[in-house]
Chains A and B, each alone.
Chain A
């Protein structure tokens, strides 16, 4: 490692892919450079059957990253203790190389909304998110990574930048960060800020994992570009360039290709992993 901070997880400094059941045969027969896979925690909270059997099999072959999408760490209300217990059970038996979640909320009194919803960056939300991260890390007995969001709008209430907010969380809780480079590009485009400057200001020494994924393009009410974090397409060239810049600046990091809908055939996803592998290999460890 270039820096003195111990890595917040045990993922290999190599490429991984978001795992989907459709890839089970292909990824085990022909993984290419893929050394680890990431699963969505909530899909493995059943009692048994094929999903858990596949996961046990994958865990013998690949390092596993568990990525939660439903903990609602950014939410106003208390964490769902039942959900945290289910997560603790999964983490307990699987002992994955990493656990990560999002700087977002997804559950309110009305129920689970199945989206990563945004929050204003204030002292009050900072204190609450820090408490939630402490609770998760205490329950799981391990450090977690928190992912920067894709944002589509800004809050009048925000008092600090996203990077100041994330940096403060790492200091208060000891958590690491998951840097989604596509999210950086999407947010910078949508907020009309500079993506490279964001990377340059980001506390890269706390980053335990990088995400790369595809987005879709739309426009807002005034015709300004509005990118949507859809995970249904290849990584675009400007995001590859931003990724190379990130790795050159921060050193090699475990890097994931995320593709969650309109899934391509395995060779297409593997080729994305190979491209990331090439970037990692071109940089000193």
Chain B
């Protein structure tokens, strides 16, 4: 085994002794000196995950979060040095991690937090001018297509994921009530904003993002017959979710 393989293997496994061949200045085994590296790795990655998922941390509590993060990073260490997006596997991990399996809403709240991070770092895009949409003859509206901004993320949760997130992130937010929630994450400026969409809104906006004209998006899977189009368009426009319309002709 190479020195690096031995050195790396023990970093993420507290049960393993420090590797051979490492010494203090007097030639004694390195002991605690090796643990400095072990501690740096585990603490820095745990801290990074906590900064990335502050509401998950608040929901499970600091001590539980550190245990959870330790288990997560053993199986899902960062694949590359861009820690800004590391943690995309956390929602799936939370679905199976035994200690939080009774908290069924955690994975979707984690998906929302990850969506906010992705939105924050997404490419910039020119603002959409809604005047063009207003000038469109009503009969042409169903044929209109939209370019959805790179910073848009959509979530359809059977839990009140947004209400739970707000309750833990925003002082004074109301206590969540049990309900499914569709959520739009978008970035009108530099700060991502999460907005509630009407039921079916994530499916509708997802169809638009896939290039479907508005009329076809209304018929997409998951969009109900009584879909509240006005509420959906209001949220999408206020959130700066579009960059430009396609040619509706």
Q: Which chain A residues have a beta carbon within 8 Å of chain B's beta carbons?
A: 42-43, 45-53, 69-71, 75-76, 80, 82-83, 86, 105-115, 117-120, 152-157, 190-193, 218, 220-222, 224, 226, 228
Q: Are A70 and B80 in contact (CB under 8 A)?
A: yes
Q: Which chain B residues have a beta carbon within 8 Å of chain A's beta carbons?
A: 2-5, 7-9, 11-12, 21-26, 28, 30-34, 36-37, 40-41, 44-45, 48, 77-84, 120-124, 150-151, 187, 190-191
Give A118's nearest chain B residue, CB to CB: B37
Give every chain B residue within 8 A of A43 (Cβ-Cβ). Answer: 84
User: Measured between C-beta atoms, what is the minimum distance from B178 to chain A in Å?
Assistant: 34
Q: Are B21 and A42 in contact (CB under 8 A)?
A: no
Q: Are B33 and A220 in contact (CB under 8 A)?
A: yes
Q: Are A156 and B190 CB-contacts (below 8 A) given A112-B79, A115-B40?
A: no
Give every chain A residue within 8 A of B30 (Cβ-Cβ). Answer: 152-154
CA distance A113 to B33 in the complex (A): 17
User: Measured between C-beta atoms, what is the minimum distance from A192 to chain B in Å?
Assistant: 4
Q: Are A190 and B33 in contact (CB under 8 A)?
A: yes
Q: Are A47 and B36 CB-contacts (below 8 A) given A108-B4, A114-B45, A156-B22?
A: no
Give every chain A residue within 8 A of B32 (Cβ-Cβ). Answer: 220-221, 226
Give every chain B residue within 8 A of A76 (Cβ-Cβ). Answer: 2, 4-5
Give every chain B residue within 8 A of A111 (Cβ-Cβ). Answer: 77-79
CA distance A134 to B110 in the complex (A): 42
Ranked 3 nearest A-B pairs via Cβ: A70-B81, A46-B121, A111-B77
Give B192's nearest chain A residue, CB to CB: A49
CA distance A8 to B96 in the complex (A): 52
Give every chain A residue within 8 A of B80 (Cβ-Cβ). Answer: 70, 80, 82-83, 107, 112
Number of A-B contacts (CB under 8 A): 145
Q: Are A114 and B44 in contact (CB under 8 A)?
A: yes
Give B73's nearest chain A residue, CB to CB: A111
Which single member of B4, B84, B122, B190 contacts A53 (CB below 8 Å)?
B190
Can you report 11 A-B residue pairs in the complex whose CB atoms are below 8 A from each other? A47-B150, A48-B124, A49-B120, A105-B4, A112-B78, A114-B81, A115-B44, A117-B37, A153-B30, A156-B21, A220-B33
CA distance A111 to B25 in the complex (A): 30
Q: Are B44 and A154 in contact (CB under 8 A)?
A: no
User: Measured between C-beta atoms, what is the minimum distance from A45 to chain B in Å?
Assistant: 5
CA distance A211 to B182 in the complex (A): 49
Q: Are A106 and B187 CB-contacts (below 8 A) given A49-B120, A222-B28?
A: no
User: Measured between C-beta atoms, what is the minimum distance from A149 to chain B in Å?
Assistant: 11
Q: Are B36 and A228 in contact (CB under 8 A)?
A: yes
Give every chain B residue within 8 A of A119 (Cβ-Cβ). Answer: 3-4
CA distance A280 to B139 in the complex (A): 72
Give A106's nearest chain B residue, CB to CB: B81
CA distance A218 to B40 in the complex (A): 14
Give every chain A residue within 8 A of B187 (Cβ-Cβ). Answer: 49
Q: Are B34 and A153 in contact (CB under 8 A)?
A: yes
User: Measured between C-beta atoms, what is the minimum distance from A193 to chain B in Å?
Assistant: 8
Q: Are B151 and A49 in contact (CB under 8 A)?
A: yes
